[in-house]
Amino acid sequence: MAAANGRSPVASSGTRRRGKVLEKAILDATIEQLRTVGYVGLTMEGVAAEAGTGKAALYRRWANRDELVTAALANVLPDPTVIELGRDVREDLLALLRCVRDAIALTHGTVFQIVRSEAAEAAGGMMHVVVGERVMDPSHELILEVLRAGERDGRVRPGAASSMVATVGPAMLVHYVVHEGPAVPDDYLRSIVDDILMPLAAP
């Protein structure tokens, strides 16, 4: 018999999920709950129902909602430090902005929408910190390093390798998501690089 929420009860499925399979289902369910109800509306009960499991499976792994959301974000967020850089200033900047864009897409824009809708909530602040530490801060530092490398070999004008210039691209992406939604067109990324960053950095 199907459950009221449309999912079959775990016990009747014939397969009891364990270990990494169950953990992935829970983390995926957490991201889906963030998308549909936001952090403020997210509960351990809601995530358990979304994952088709019991609350005990969550509490065996994570002590509270903050730990669960942090783990879920860590599971999907891309790592900008693994991007191969050093080939071309323009291509490096595009690659790093795509990493930020991918982080937005993988979290359905929820984390960045919180900047607008839940800024007063400690929960929103926590999520923003997680994304900042894992994606935004490293991307900022790598953009700055790309500009510094360009300065050293004459591809970037002296003084362009500044924290302010390095902030422009990611800040424009977040602004777009907050006001337009999480689907950031590739043309918009190229426009940030070609119409703003490269002219700012041109020797």
- What does the alpha-carbon distance between residue 96 and residue 76 come to, in Å, rounded to a whole number? 17
Q: What is the pLDDT of residue 62?
A: 96
Query: What's the pLDDT score for residue 114?
Result: 53
pLDDT along the chain (203 residues), means of 10: 45 62 95 84 94 96 91 89 94 96 76 49 60 89 97 95 95 88 91 97 93
Query: Looking at residue 14, what is its pLDDT?
Result: 41
pLDDT of residue 125: 55
Q: What pLDDT is stored for residue 119 in this prediction?
A: 43
> What pLDDT shows up at residue 75?
85
Please give the C-alpha separations between residue 28 and each of 4, 9, 52, 59, in angstroms, as whole numbers: 21, 18, 11, 16
pLDDT of 38 = 78
Residue 105: exposed, middle, or buried by beta-carbon count in 10 A (0-12, 13-18, 19+)?
Answer: middle
89 Cβ neighbours under 8 A, 6+ residues apart: 146, 147, 149, 150, 155, 156, 198, 201
| Domains of the chain from N-terminus onward | 10-74 (1.10.10.60), 78-201 (1.10.357)
- CB count in 10 Å sphere of residue 59: 13
Single pTM value for the model: 0.76
pLDDT at 127: 66
